[in-house]
């Protein structure tokens, strides 16, 4: 947050740090995990920060959040609807302060800030997420939004800007405070977006994985130092800044010599040291081409999912004890987080592409005629699963940014493994090559955003890239007989999607429970089996 020199308003920078864990080798490559990233984030000056869902899937990561990250940021860490169960006392306590009120140094802008998480249900049982609809009725929240000495309500959250949760908060504040400006910062869906709620309420979402610096400008705020200055001339503006030094130099009017600070250089040196210590640049193999999450059609040779389905999963996901047993392997597409680029596949790449620590489970001797329909049911009949279990959102099995593809045909209209419909999304990813996809030569494929203010928000002009729908999960098979289908198979899947597998089997007339699901490959993860396959199949000389 930075106040304007002329006293006319305030600039706010949004970086989606909701996925601070499970995303790169700096986090996942250390033992214990997060040893280096905790110190790196601690060095940043952050006014408000909150938790995302990934911090809460496992007991250890939630404990680390409460014991390390919250103390690192003190009053800046907010947890408006998130509680922690302290294992040492057994008591339920707020993970962090519910809200924060502070006044800016120069202009005296009085801000009341909140930090929310969407109505998430997949957390470990040492945390409790309270529904936003209930949270806004609590006494502390109602008292906070009735504060008369406030110039801006700031609501940050790992929450999509176009969500029921933010709509609920907006309505709750406006019910008792109709005039005070409200600024929402959102996340989770990994897109660039800007929504206008009313003339004095806007919401900004700043992309994913720190690819974007979301810049927000507010002019015309009243302040404690100028109480007669009202918000009749209130003006909001936004910009999505590509996260690279060229952008930073341009927007700050600095250069290679004047942009770095002493503190920044120190942090950079620490990052370099951490990467060297963790051997993140060690090469496992050389990717012969680019493999895309959604920039290439699912089923094409350029799709990372096609590569996984046809090569990696059949060859690398195998139990030594049951290697001769026919098996069907189901992995959700959201288990892959990023593209693979032609060139070195390093230790860091492993964590970037698939950072999750989920293990492989299996159910033995499932009738093939049943097992072969499980992926089809999850992909093409998601509504049935949702109706049966409202807390299980099938869309959460795909990469979060897939929710932004509004122009694609529905999954139900597509047969399994036949996602041929080419779509253009308003949210597209960065590329590395020039002049692709029929774009203007010299321009880089990247974000071309359209939001409630129009199509002028991106600070860098890019060519539009194709974006394709992907299914909820992919299906591979191995050790099948040379002719015909087997009578029974080992049904292998990531433990993350076990509830969906069991529910699908139940719909298909097979009653299995979690006790029937056994560990298949020890502590191997999708990331480790990908790495093993790369080491065995790709050249090491790049």
Q: Would you say residue 476 has pLDDT above 90? A: yes
Quote the pTM value: 0.87
Cα–Cα distance measured from residue 262 to residue 354, given in angstroms and rounded to the nearest whole number: 34
pLDDT digit string, tens, across residues 245-261: 999 999 999 999 999 99
pLDDT the model gives residue 2: 60
pLDDT the model gives residue 380: 79
pLDDT the model gives residue 390: 56
More confident residue, 542 or 391: 542
Q: Would you say residue 414 has pLDDT above 50? A: no
pLDDT, the chain, mean: 87
pLDDT digit string, tens, across residues 167-226: 999 999 999 999 999 999 999 989 899 999 999 999 999 988 888 999 999 998 888 776
**Domains, the chain:** 2-243 (3.60.21.10), 283-421+470-537 (3.90.780.10), 430-464 (no CATH)
pLDDT the model gives residue 411: 33
Q: Would you say residue 422 has pLDDT above 50? A: no
Structural contact between residues 110 and 46, judged by C-beta atoms closer than 8 angstroms: no
pLDDT the model gives residue 542: 84
> What long-range pairs does 443-450 form, CB within 8 A, spacing at least 24?
446/242, 447/192, 447/207, 447/211, 447/212, 447/240, 447/242, 449/192, 449/193, 449/240, 450/426
Q: Would you say residue 57 has pLDDT above 80? A: yes
pLDDT the model gives residue 317: 97
Q: Would you say residue 433 has pLDDT above 50? A: no
pLDDT the model gives residue 466: 83
Cα–Cα distance measured from residue 312 to residue 345, given in angstroms and rounded to the nearest whole number: 15
Q: Are strands 235-242 and 360-367 parallel, antiparallel or unpaired?
A: unpaired
CA angle 38, 112, 86 (to 5 degrees): 45
Residue 306 φ then ψ, to 5°: -65, -45
pLDDT digit string, tens, across residues 5-38: 455 556 666 665 545 677 889 999 999 888 899 9
């Amino acid at each position: 947050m930075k106040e304007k020199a002329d006293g006319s308003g305030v600039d706010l920078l949004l970086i989606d740090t909701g996925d601070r864990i499970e995303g790169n080798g700096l986090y996942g490559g250390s033992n214990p995990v997060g040893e280096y990233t905790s110190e790196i984030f601690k060095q940043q000056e952050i006014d408000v920060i909150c938790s995302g869902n990934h911090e809460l899937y496992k007991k250890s990561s939630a404990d680390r959040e409460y014991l390390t990250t919250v103390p690192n940021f003190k009053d800046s860490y907010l947890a408006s609807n998130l509680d922690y169960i302290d294992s040492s006392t057994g008591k339920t306590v707020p993970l962090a302060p519910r809200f924060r009120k502070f006044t800016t140094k120069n202009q005296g802008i009085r801000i009341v800030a909140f930090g929310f998480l969407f109505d998430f249900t997949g957390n470990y049982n040492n945390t409790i997420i309270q529904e936003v609809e209930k949270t806004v009725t609590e006494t502390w929240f109602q008292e906070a939004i009735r504060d008369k000495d406030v110039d801006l309500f700031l609501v940050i959250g790992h929450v999509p800007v176009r969500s029921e949760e933010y709509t609920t908060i907006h309505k709750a504040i406006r019910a008792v405070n109709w005039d005070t400006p409200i600024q929402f910062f959102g996340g989770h869906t990994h897109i660039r977006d800007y929504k206008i709620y009313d003339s004095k309420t806007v919401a900004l979402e700043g992309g994913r994985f720190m690819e974007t610096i979301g810049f927000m400008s507010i002019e015309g705020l009243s302040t404690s130092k100028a109480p007669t200055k009202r918000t009749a001339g209130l003006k909001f503006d936004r910009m999505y800044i590509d996260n690279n030094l060229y952008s930073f130099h341009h927007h700050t009017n600095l250069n290679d010599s004047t942009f770095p600070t002493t503190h920044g250089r120190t942090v950079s040196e620490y990052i370099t040291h951490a990467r060297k210590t963790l051997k993140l640049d060690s090469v496992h193999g050389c990717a012969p081409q680019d493999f895309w999450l959604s920039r290439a059609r699912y089923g094409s040779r350029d799709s990372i999912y096609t590569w996984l389905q046809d090569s990696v999963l059949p060859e690398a996901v195998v139990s030594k004890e049951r290697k001769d047993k026919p098996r069907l392997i189901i992995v959700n597409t959201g288990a892959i987080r990023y593209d693979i680029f032609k060139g070195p596949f390093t230790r860091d790449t492993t964590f970037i592409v698939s950072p999750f620590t989920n293990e492989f489970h299996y159910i033995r001797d499932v009738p093939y005629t049943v097992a072969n329909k499980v992926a089809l049911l999850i992909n093409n009949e998601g509504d049935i699963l949702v109706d049966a279990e409202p807390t299980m959102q099938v869309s959460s099995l795909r990469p979060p940014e897939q929710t932004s593809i509004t122009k694609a045909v529905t999954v139900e209209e597509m047969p399994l493994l036949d996602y041929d419909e080419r779509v253009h999304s308003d949210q597209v990813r960065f590329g590395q090559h020039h002049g692709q996809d029929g774009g203007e030569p010299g321009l880089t494929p990247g974000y071309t955003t359209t939001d409630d203010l129009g199509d002028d928000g991106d600070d860098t002009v890019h060519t539009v890239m194709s974006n394709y729908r992907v299914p909820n999960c992919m299906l591979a098979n191995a050790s099948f007989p040379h002719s015909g289908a087997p009578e029974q198979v080992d049904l292998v899947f990531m433990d993350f999607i076990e509830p969906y597998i069991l529910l699908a089997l139940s719909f298909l007339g097979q009653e299995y429970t979690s006790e029937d699901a056994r560990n298949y490959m020890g502590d191997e993860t999708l990331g480790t089996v990908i790495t093993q396959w790369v080491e065995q199949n790709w050249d090491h000389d790049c």
